Amino acid sequence: CDFNTYTAGELGSSSSPQSWLEAVRQELDGAASLLGGRPVSTVFVGGGTPSLLGGDGLAALLDAVGTSFDLLPNAEVTTESNPESTSPQFFARIREAGYTRVSLGMQSASAHVLAVLERTHTPGRAAAAAREAAEAGFDHVNLDVIYGTPGESDADLDATLDAVLAAPVDHVSAYALIVEDGTAFARKVRRGELAEPDDDVLAARYERIDERLSAAGLQWYEVSNWARGDDGACRHNEAYWRSDDWWGIGPGAHSHVAGARWWNRKHPARYAAELAEGNWPGQDWEGLTEQDRHAETVMLRLRMRTGLSEVELNDGERSRAQQAVRSGLLDAVGGSFVLTDRGRLLADGVVRDILSG
C-alpha cells in the first residue's frame, strides 16, 4: 500500500506513540478553534495500522477528539485494523470507548496471494477478527479485498468471497490492484519479477465480485464498495465522495474545508516538532477553482449509486452524458445519471468523456 509508513529506524528515537498522540491533541485543538465549534458527525482512524496503538491507545485518541470537538450522538466512529494486531479484548475495549465501526484488511483468503502482496496475516485471520468484532457488539464490520494480484486464480477469488460472505459483515470494499510508483511492488513489476495486472482480468474479477455480493444482499453504493442496506454504508467515505468538509489529523493527512485542500508534513517527528513550536503542521495547500470543484463533483458523484444530478452539468456535458446513456454506460434515473453495470467497468472513461468539452 502507498501509505505513510516507516520502520523503527526511519522514525528515529524522537518519535513514539505518545509523542504522536500529543501532537494529534495539539492539532485537534487548533482545528476546533479554526472551525468555530462545528460538531463532528464522523471519525475515521486509518491510513496505516491504527490497531498497533492497542485498545487503550485508540480509546485515548477518541477521547482527545471528544475533548476538542462535540461528537454528535449518532456519530459514526471507524477504525481500520490489521487482523493480526486485534483480539477479542481489543474489540471489546474500543467498542466500550465509543467506536461504532471496524474496517479490517483482508485482501485475500489465499496464502500465496497474501505472500505476493507481502501481507503478514494468515488467510483465516481476517474473517475470525470480523467474528470477534461482531461478538464485541459491533453492528458495522467491513472487510477490504484486493483483486487482480499476479498469480491469483478464479478459484482464489471465489475462496476469498466464500470467506467474506461467511463472516458477519455488512460492508465490503473491493479494490483492483494498482501498482503505485515508488513501492517495492512497482519495482518488482519493473524488473519483470511480477506481471502487470491485466485490465481484462480485473474487469472479469469485478463482475464476479459484484455478482456474488449482490446475490448475498450486499448492494453497490460506490464503484468499489458494497453495503447491506443504507445503514451499512460508510458515512465517512460518503462525505469524501460528496466533497463535504473534513479535517485530516496527523502526519501526512489531507484536509478539505471550504474549497481549500492541504496536507500535513509526512514524517511524524517533523509533524510533531512543528506543532510543539506552535506552527501549522501543513506542508502545502491548494485552493480549488470552480472548474476544479466541478470536475471533482462529476468524478465523485458519478461513482455513487445515487448518481450525478443533471443540474450539475452544463448543456454540452449533459449532451455527452445522454450519449453515454445511448451507449449503455449510463442510465437516466429520476433526473440523475447513474452508471450501468458496464459503465462501472469504464467509470473513469465516462467521466473523461463528459468533461471533455
Grid coordinates in use for 220?
453497490
Closest C-alpha to 71, from 38, 30, 106:
38
For the chain, the structural domain boundaries read 39-241, 291-354
What is the distance, to the nearest Å, from the Cα of residue 242 to the centroid of all Cα atoms in its chain? 14
Please, are residues 273 and 281 in contact by the beta-carbon 8 Å criterion?
A: no
111 residue type, one letter: A
| Angstrom distance (rounded) from CA 138 to CA 84 | 18
**Number of neighbours of residue 121 by Cβ within 10 angstroms:** 19
First and final C-alpha spacing in the chain: 35
Query: Cβ-count burial of 297 within 10 angstroms (0-12 exposed, 13-18 middle, 19+ buried)?
Result: middle
> Quick one: pLDDT at residue 14?
63
- Close Cβ partners of 178 (under 8 Å, ≥ 6 residues apart): 197
Only one residue has cell 465549534, namely 37
- Close Cβ partners of 110 (under 8 Å, ≥ 6 residues apart): 123, 152, 156, 159, 160
**Number of neighbours of residue 61 by Cβ within 10 angstroms:** 26
Closest C-alpha to 157, from 140, 169, 175, 145:
145
What is the distance, to the nearest Å, from the Cα of residue 103 to the centroid of all Cα atoms in its chain? 9
Please, are residues 64 and 25 in contact by the beta-carbon 8 Å criterion?
A: yes
Q: Do domains 39-241 and 291-354 have the same CATH topology?
A: no
Q: Does domain 291-354 have CATH number 3.30.1760?
A: no
CATH of domain 39-241: 3.30.750.200
Sign of CA dihedral 211, 213, 218, 223: negative
pLDDT tens, the chain, 357 aa long: 456 776 667 776 666 778 889 999 999 999 999 998 899 999 999 977 888 889 999 999 999 999 999 999 999 999 999 999 999 999 999 999 999 999 999 999 999 998 888 777 788 999 999 999 999 999 999 999 999 988 899 999 999 999 999 999 999 999 998 777 776 767 877 787 777 778 899 999 999 999 999 999 999 999 999 999 999 999 999 999 999 999 999 999 999 999 999 999 999 889 999 999 999 999 999 999 999 999 999 999 999 999 999 999 999 999 999 999 999 999 999 999 999 999 999 999 999 999 996
Assign 220 to helix, strand or coil. strand
Q: At what angle do helices 54-68 and 17-35 cross, to 10 degrees?
A: 20
**Number of neighbours of residue 336 by Cβ within 10 angstroms:** 19
